[in-house]
Amino acid sequence: MPQSNILHVIFDLTTSKIVLELGDQTATGAGYVTITTPNNDTTAEITLASGSNNLTWSSYPEFTDTSGEHLLRGLWSFEWREGASDTTTDAGLVTVNFDAANFPASTIEGNVDNRDSIISSSISMTLDCFSSELSVIDSTNYTIIEASPSWSTPYSNTVYSPPNVSPLSTAITVQGTSVITPVYTGTYSSYLTGALSYSWESKDLILGNPITSVIIQDDDANIGVDDMSKFEVFSEIDGGTQFAIDCVSTSLCQIWECIDALNIRYMDLSCTNERLAKIEKDKLERAMQLITLSENALKCGDSDKATSYIDEIKTVTNCINCS
């Protein structure tokens, strides 16, 4: 039977499974594993076929916490060997420290079964009512123990607008800062989706990774670092945020410097130049009309008119920077 010296352990938090693969790209074969969980429960010897072996949590109650939904945190060991069950050809012990220090715990709410997520997101929003721009900022640190993720399902941050406001939703597909414009009075909500994959190898122990691999016996004399065991985690994203917008009052504050400056010009000219003062007064009256119109447009979610009113206020008051 072909020999190999690698045990690939996958904690698939997205499907509630532990996946074991015995073999590598060139050599696969049947094998056997005994698993000891963090609370020292030990499974009976499990037969491994070549390829993937899916151990669903619901079939192994010792894998989960008291809720029966979340994988136990702590030190796991996988004692494996290849060959016939009554002999030992290649054998090894792989331990994985799946604790909250290495993999911070959080829970995805709202699913049929609440699954673990090892990522807690950091989403924020900032608002510029004067330019009618909402900045959505994802500052989440997606790196875990020196490992950057690959995305097994694409990253998406969907931002939902208040009711009756177009667009009803905006899909953001790149992490970082994205701008939504125009925006209106109401609550904006973001919701992250996607699944991440992290991978470590026992040869990377120098980086402090959570996996160790101890070879007990080896009938293949060519074992080396490329034969060491691997550990992988699949996880969904847990996160999102809400942001309440009241551009009616905020816009007034941001535009106020422009209006106030226009009023000061009018007052100064009223004592020195009646003709110019009349021009500034007309501008001031028009600006106040536009403020009322923009308030009503924002309340009613009329984006085009609200934007045009604010732009005209900037023009009328010669406002370059009102913040």
User: How do residues 152-181 score in pLDDT, each as one tens digit?
Assistant: 899 999 999 988 788 889 999 999 999 998
* CA 200 vs CA 213, 232, 246: distances in Å: 11, 6, 47
Q: What is the pLDDT of residue 65?
A: 85
Q: What is the pLDDT of residue 224?
A: 45
| CB neighbourhood size of 236 (10 A) | 21
Higher-confidence residue of 82 and 111: namely 82
Band (301; pLDDT cuts 50, 70, 90): low
pLDDT in the model for residue 204: 62
Using only C-alpha atoms, what is the Rg of the chain? Answer: 31
pLDDT at site 282: 92
Q: How far apart are CA 8 and CA 11, in angstroms?
A: 10
The more confidently predicted of residues 184 and 269 is: 269
Q: Is the pLDDT of residue 266 over 60?
A: yes
Most trustworthy range by pLDDT among 20-24, 202-206, 245-249: 20-24
User: Which H or E element spans position 310?
Assistant: helix 303-316
For residue range 126-136, what is the model confidence (pLDDT) as tens digits? 987 767 789 99
* pLDDT reading at 83 higher than 70: no
Report whether pLDDT(227) > 60. Answer: no
The rounded Cα 17 to chain-centroid distance in angstroms is 21
At 120, the pLDDT band (50, 70, 90 cuts) reads confident
The pLDDT assigned to 27 comes to 45
At 112, is the pLDDT very low, low, confident or very high (cuts 50, 70, 90)?
very low
Q: Which two tokens stand for residue 73?
A: 């945190």
Q: DSSP characters for 152-217?
A: EEEEEEEEEPPTT-SSSEEEE-SSSEEEE-S--SEEEEEEEEEEEEEEEEGGGGGGT-SEEEEEEE
Q: For the chain, count helices (H), then strands (E).
A: 3, 19
Of 31-40, 58-67, 87-96, 216-225, least confident by mean pLDDT is: 216-225
Place of tokens 């009646």: 274
Per-residue pLDDT band for 108 (boundaries 50, 70, 90) equals: low
Has residue 88 got a pLDDT over 80? no
- pLDDT value of residue 35: 95
Q: Quickly state the pLDDT bin for 24 (edges 50, 70, 90).
A: low
Q: State the pLDDT at residue 8.
A: 87
Query: What is the arithmetic mean of pLDDT over 64-74?
Result: 85
CATH 2.60.40 location in the chain:
120-193+241-245
Name the range with the highest mean pLDDT among 111-120, 158-167, 195-204. 158-167
* Kind and range of the H or E run holding 244: strand 240-245
Which 3 state secondary structure label does DSSP give 39? Answer: coil
Give the pLDDT confidence score for residue 155 in this predicted structure. Answer: 93
Residue 189's pLDDT is: 95
Instruction: Provide the residue type at 64 as one letter.
Output: T
Q: What is residue 123's predicted lDDT score, i.e. its pLDDT? A: 93
pLDDT band, very low/low/confident/very high, at 25 (cuts 50, 70, 90): very low
Q: What is the mean pLDDT of the chain?
A: 80
Q: Nearest 5°: phi and psi at 158?
A: -95, 125
What pLDDT score was predicted for residue 252?
58
Tell me, yes or no, if the pTM score tops 0.75. Answer: no
The architecture CATH gives domain 120-193+241-245:
Sandwich (2.60)
Cis peptide before 182 (omega within 30 of 0): yes
In the predicted structure, residue 46 carries a pLDDT above the cut 60: yes
